[in-house]
Amino acid sequence: MIRAVVRGVGHYLPDRVVPNSEFEAIVETSDEWIRSRSGIERRHFAAVGQMTSDLATRAAQAALADARIDAAQIDAIIVATSTPDLTFPSVATMVQNALGMTKGFAFDVQAVCAGFVYALANANALILSGQATRVLVIGAETFSRLMNWKDRGTCVLFGDGAGAVVLAATEGTGTTADRGILATDLNSDGRYKDILYVDGGTSTGTTGHLVMEGKEVFRHAIEKLSETAHAALDKAGLTSEDVDWIVPHQANIRIIEGTAKRMQVPMDRVVVTVQDHGNTSAASIPLALSVGKARGQIKQGDLVVTEAIGGGLAWGSVVLRW
């Protein structure tokens, strides 16, 4: 049986690091409030002129180097993003061009903070159905460009960055001992569009700004994230006890802790990067995978559960053996 196995991982963060204290001059807030309510201590912001496709390309190059695979050997690129450089063409085709590829196919997936989980599930489906053998899956965002700098409830929470993995078709035995993606679980419910959205697009002719009812999103997050993680583990024929690492979407340390608690997984088996990156939307999981591997946390053979929720609402989870 064919499995989609992670062959390489990499990330890129823009140079500019913005500590919480910088926001004290912009809105009525404090380092103490941001740390205690979200767990965030700093985040990276892209430079003027540095676009999502630039971040995505750097992360892709790092993942290809880690996989020791040449860009010419990739047959599909999927970029999860809600902050494309332009409405079209896709960021994925821009990355394809930047990597010097003229073959294969590339497209974006837009499921906001759940985007990378959706992109992984799509890449897995392409590989299992024989439509692709090596897929570059990228999460890349420049959410700093969507901020309303007068809204203290949102502008302190988000950051920019990108992460990527190379997935490759690999023969497995069909058991849970196989490396690669073992199960996926995707969900959305459009009734909740008003609690997290960007107020721009073709309807306004502007890019718009992020609007969020934080408390409401928070309320949905812990319940839905633990449910989807359990659902994916169930589909794989595994339980929480089998989990080596939860690699969650990094929105808020309290959501990360609450979800781990409901899954009965101790925090020393959770990869946490929210303090350094803030919420980077679709980039947060591949960033955490890359940092988790670099820290020596995630090792070959480990069972990893990723889970994310964001605007839509859209949420989901992927169970994979590293």
Q: Which residues bind ligand UT7 (CB under 6 A)?
A: 29, 33-34, 37-38, 113, 152-153, 156, 214-215, 217-218, 221, 251-252, 255, 279, 310
Structure tokens at 293: 């591997």
Q: What is d(CA 105, CA 308) in angstroms, rounded to the nearest whole number?
A: 26
Q: What is d(CA 185, CA 151) in angstroms, rounded to the nearest whole number?
A: 33
Question: Would you call 277 a catalytic residue per the annotation?
Answer: no
Nearer to ligand UT7, 151 or 242 (CB): 151
Q: Residue 204 carries which side chain, given as an amino acid letter?
A: T
Residue number of the CB atom closest to ligand UT7: 214
CB 253 within 8 A of CB 243: no
Spot the catalytic one: 20, 122, 252, 279: 279
CB of 231 to ligand UT7, least distance (A): 19
CB 282 within 8 A of CB 294: no
Nearer to ligand UT7, 38 or 297 (CB): 38
Spot the catalytic one: 209, 249, 252, 277: 249
Q: What is d(CA 290, CA 162) in angstroms, rounded to the nearest whole number?
A: 10
CB of 226 to ligand UT7, least distance (A): 14
CB of 30 to ligand UT7, least distance (A): 6
Spot the catalytic one: 44, 113, 209, 252: 113
CB 143 within 8 A of CB 281: yes
Nearer to ligand UT7, 167 or 318 (CB): 318
CB 280 within 8 A of CB 141: yes
Nearer to ligand UT7, 90 or 279 (CB): 279
Nearer to ligand UT7, 96 or 154 (CB): 154
Question: Would you call 279 a catalytic residue per the annotation?
Answer: yes
Among candidate residues 228, 265, 225, the one with its CA nearest the CA of residue 245: 265
Nearer to ligand UT7, 89 or 153 (CB): 153
How many separate helices (H) and strands (E) can be counted in the chain?
9, 13
Q: What is d(CA 245, CA 182) in angstroms, rounded to the nearest whole number?
A: 15
Location of structure tokens 């590339």? 106
CB 179 within 8 A of CB 121: no
Q: Compute how many other C-beta atoms are within 10 angstroms of the C-beta atom of residue 171.
A: 10
Location of structure tokens 């392409």? 126
DSSP secondary structure letter of residue 28: S
Question: Would you call 20 a catalytic residue per the annotation?
Answer: no
CB of 151 to ligand UT7, least distance (A): 8
CB of 255 to ligand UT7, least distance (A): 6
Omega before 89 cis (within 30°)?
yes
Structure tokens at 307: 């889970």
CB of 281 to ligand UT7, least distance (A): 6
Point out the residues that are catalytic.
Answer: 113, 249, 279
